[in-house]
Amino acid sequence: MAEDSEPDVLLIREALRLAGIPQDNLQVARDGEIAMRLFEQLEADGPPVCPDLVLLDINLPKKRGGDILRRIRASTKCPATKVLIVTSSGLQSDRDQMERLGANGYFRKPSEYAAFMELGLLVRTLLGMGEASAGSVY
């Protein structure tokens, strides 16, 4: 997860927990540079252990989410890693750009708790653990 907002990290963790998604190997990058370094480390190390899914905020400090998504898609070891954008941006231009860059889904952070918890259902869908009842991933 690449997310700089601690309250959002807590909400995302809660959504995952309620959806029955294990978090044993969940890493949180608090800014874009840390997220970028994690993927560069994957490239440099031996056999890859690619993430099943990256939850990526667009508006990160130090590196933007789009830059990180480009890096993931340019990876020689993990280019097919699924990426779900989790952002407060409701701009269609942001949604279109993330789709063009290869995001597998886009979740706009809602202000209501129950709506935020639907994120867990979308993650389950992307991980092949079941279908989301909240509609499509994009």
- Asked if residue 32 belongs to a domain, the reply is yes
pLDDT at position 136 is 43
- What is the distance between the alpha carbons of residues 138 and 123, in angstroms, rounded to a whole number? 12
Give pTM, 2 decimals. 0.90
Q: Which domain holds residue 28?
A: 6-126
The total number of structural domains in the chain stands at: 1
Per the CB < 8 A criterion, the answer to whether 39 and 75 are in contact is yes
The Cα angle at residue 88 between residues 54 and 107, in degrees rounded to 5: 50
Q: Count the neighbouring beta carbons within 10 Å of the beta carbon of residue 115.
A: 12
- What is the distance between the alpha carbons of residues 90 and 53, in angstroms, rounded to a whole number? 22
Say which CATH number the domain at 108 has: 3.40.50.2300
pLDDT at position 50 is 86
- Asked if residue 102 belongs to a domain, the reply is yes
pLDDT at position 30 is 95
pLDDT at position 42 is 82
pLDDT at position 46 is 67
The parts of the chain modelled with pLDDT lower than 50 are 133-138
